[in-house]
Chains A and B, each alone.
Chain A
Amino acid sequence: MSQKILVFAEQRDGQFRKPALEICSAAAELAEKHEMSLSAVLIGEGVANIAPQLAEYGISEIWAGEGEGLNRYNLENYAAILQQAVKQLSPNTIIMAASAMGKELAPYLAAKLGVGLAADLTELIVTDGKISAKRPVFAGKAFVNVAFQTEMQLFSIRPNTFPAEKRPTSANVQKLSFVLPAEGARSQVKETLRQESKRPELTEAGIIVSGGRGMGGPEKYVVIEELADLLGAAVGASRAAVDAGWRPHSDQVGQTGKTVSPNLYIACGISGAIQHLAGMSSSKFIVAINKDPEAPIFKVADYGVVGDLFTVVPAMVTELKK
C-alpha cells in the first residue's frame, strides 16, 4: 500500500511559524522522492486565506479546518479536529512540528488514536517505502532508531532540523468538516500574552548568541545583544547565568532549558558543562569564545577563540559593520 502523509501545519495569529514551513518542505521532499501522497491540515479562523502559502513549500492538497474562536489554540479542540481529519483522509503518517504546541498535541493525539509517536525527531528514515525515525535520547548523548508497532505513525520534528525550502506547486484548498467536542471548553486559553521582541525565538532561531557566567552581570549582555542584532540572532544563556538572575528562565539552553539546533551557536563565557551541551550540541556550527583554553566547550566548537569576550565580541561587531 502506498504511503499517505498528513502534515499538521500550525499557525499562530494567522501566520505560519518557521517550523511549520520546515515540516511542509521536508514532507514534500519525502513524498516526491518516494512517491507518497501528501496533504496538510490547518486549524484556525479564516485559515483558507493563508493556506496557499503552504503550496509555496510543496503542499498542494490543503484542508482548512475553520471555525470561530479556533485561532486560540485549545488542545482538546485541536486534537478532536485532527482526529476527524485522520478519519476522513486516512493517512498512514502524520507529521507535525515539535513546537510548544506540537509537544503537547502530538502525544495527546497519538494516545487518542492509539498510534505510536516518535517525538522531537532529528532524522526521518525511509526503508522499503515505510517511514521511521531517529531521535536523540539522554539529551543527545545517544540516538535511537524506533520501530512502530502500529499501522499508523506519528512524528514530531525538532525545529531547525530541515530547511524551509521553496518548492512551489498549485494550491487546492478544501474545507474540512468537523464537530467540536464538549470537553474543549474546559481548558480554554484565557489570554495569549505576546512578548514583544525584535529578536527571533530561541528554538526557531537560525543563529544564537549565548552568554554564560563569564558575562559577569546582567548589564553586560548588551555586548552580545549587539552582536546578536547584527546577525539577526536570538540571545541565549547558560543555567549559571539564569540562576544568578541575569537572564529569564526562558533564555536557558540545556538539559533543563531549551533544546536548540541553530545553524550557528556562539557560546560566550560558557564553559561547556555536559548539561549545557545537552541543549545545543545538535547546532550545525558552534563557535566558542572563552578565556580558558582548557574549557570543555572547545571540544565541541568548530571554531574557537581563546580570549576575553569583552574584547573579542566588540571586535566581531566592528568587523561585521565594515
Chain B
Amino acid sequence: MKIYVCVKQVPDTETKVKVAEDGKSLDERDLTLILNPYCEFAVEEGLRIKEKLGGDVTLVTVGPDGAKAALRSGLAMGADSAIHLSADNARMADSFVIASLLAEQIKAGAPDLVLMGKKSVDTDMQAVPPMTAALLNLPIVTAVVEAEWNIDSAKLVREIEGGKERYEMAYPLIATIDKGLNEPRYASLKGIMQAKKKPIETKTVNLSGETLVIEKMSYPPVAQPGKIVGEGAAVAPELIRLLREEAKVIE
C-alpha cells in the first residue's frame, strides 16, 4: 500500500496570536510551531495501515523552510520519507492554491491512499482535502471516526448531525481523520535519531492563482468582563432570573 499523508505545520494551540504590522498576516516572531494535531492523527493512521497491510508512508507538506520540522516529527513517528513543497508565504495561503499543489504531487506519485487531517487549526478551513479530491477526481470521505482498512477497499464511518454515515470504498481514495479514531504515538528517541537520516525531497513551488486572499486580520471583540452572580446553590434563583429577564436566553 502506497500511502501519502499530507501534513501541515501550524502555531501551537496555546500560542497567543499576534497580528503583524501589515494588518493582514500573522506575526511569526516567537511562534512555537507544531505538527497540526489532526495531521498527527492522519500520520498515526497511516502508520497503522502500513503495519497491517504493508507498504510505505510518505509525508507531503507545502510550507516555508521551517515546515521541515513538522516533517521530521512525522518521520520520527515512523513515516518513511517526505516531500517538501517549499514556499515562503504558504502559511495562511489560499486553500485552493495549496490543494492544486498537493493534487499535482499526488498525481505524480499515484498513491493508493491519501490521508489528511480533518482541519488545520490555523486557517480552520477544512477545505484543502475536498478541493484536492475535486481536482484529482478522486473519491473522498472527510472526518473519519471509524475505519477498517483492507487490501483493496476500506470501510469508513463519519459523523453527521444526529448520526453516522457508513462508506465502503475501493482505492485510490482520500480520507481525512478526526479525533477519536486513534491515539497518536510518541516518537521514540530511536525514531527521532532515525528521522534525521530519512530522505526529504525538497522542491521550490510558486503560490499563484489565488481564489481568495486575506484582506484584514483582527482580534475578536474584547469580551466584557462577566459578573460573578454569587456563590453556591443559593444563587440559583437569581441566575435563572438573569437568564430569563436580562439575557433572555431561556423561557
Q: Is B58 an interface residue (CB 8 A)?
A: no
Q: Are A138 and B211 in contact (CB under 8 A)?
A: no
Q: Is B86 an interface residue (CB 8 A)?
A: no
Q: Is A33 an interface residue (CB 8 A)?
A: no
Q: Lowest 4 CB-CB distances: which A-B pairs, in order? A: A249-B180, A315-B236, A116-B211, A111-B134
A13 to chain B, nearest CB (A): 10
Q: Which of chain A's residues have a CB closer than 8 A to the CB of B242? A: 303
Query: Which among B63-71, B185-193, B197-205, B220-228 touches the partner chain?
Result: B220-228
A239 to chain B, nearest CB (A): 9
Q: Which of chain B's residues have a CB closer than 8 A to the CB of A248? A: 180
Q: Is A29 an interface residue (CB 8 A)?
A: no
A278-B170 in contact given A111-B135, A303-B243, A312-B233 (Cβ < 8 Å): no
Q: Which of chain A's residues have a CB closer than 8 A to the CB of B142? A: 103-104
Give the number of residues in B that approach A within 8 Å (Cβ atoms): 88
Render A289-314 as a binary contact track against B, CB cut-off 8 A, 1 for contact.
00001000011111111111001101
A302-B232 in contact given A108-B130, A149-B210, A149-B211 (Cβ < 8 Å): no
- A-binding residues in B (CB < 8 A): 11, 13-17, 19, 24, 26, 37-38, 92, 94-96, 99, 121-135, 137, 139-143, 145, 158-170, 173, 178-180, 210-220, 223-237, 239-240, 242-243, 247, 249-250
Q: Which of chain B's residues have a CB closer than 8 A to the CB of A314? A: 233
Q: Are B164 and A275 in contact (CB under 8 A)?
A: no
Which residue of chain A has its CB nearest to the CB of B139? A187
Q: Are B210 and A111 in contact (CB under 8 A)?
A: no
Q: Could you list 23 A-B pairs, sorted by A, with CB under 8 Å? A: A99-B161, A100-B158, A100-B161, A104-B143, A107-B95, A107-B128, A117-B125, A142-B19, A143-B217, A187-B139, A192-B160, A195-B162, A207-B249, A255-B121, A285-B243, A293-B228, A301-B226, A302-B224, A306-B230, A307-B235, A308-B232, A315-B234, A315-B236
- B-binding residues in A (CB < 8 A): 12, 17, 73, 75-76, 79, 99-101, 103-112, 114-120, 132, 135-150, 183, 186-195, 197, 201, 203-204, 207, 231, 248-250, 252, 255-257, 263-264, 274-275, 278, 281, 284-288, 293, 298-308, 311-312, 314-316, 318-320
The B interface is mostly helix, strand or loop, or mixed, namely mixed
Q: Are A264 and B240 in contact (CB under 8 A)?
A: no
Q: Which of chain A's residues have a CB closer than 8 A to the CB of B236? A: 312, 315-316, 318-319
Q: Are A117 and B127 in contact (CB under 8 A)?
A: yes
CA distance A281 to B143 in the complex (A): 22
CA distance A147 to B211 in the complex (A): 9
Q: Are B229 and A186 in contact (CB under 8 A)?
A: no
Q: Are B226 and A298 in contact (CB under 8 A)?
A: yes
Q: Are A274 and B159 in contact (CB under 8 A)?
A: no
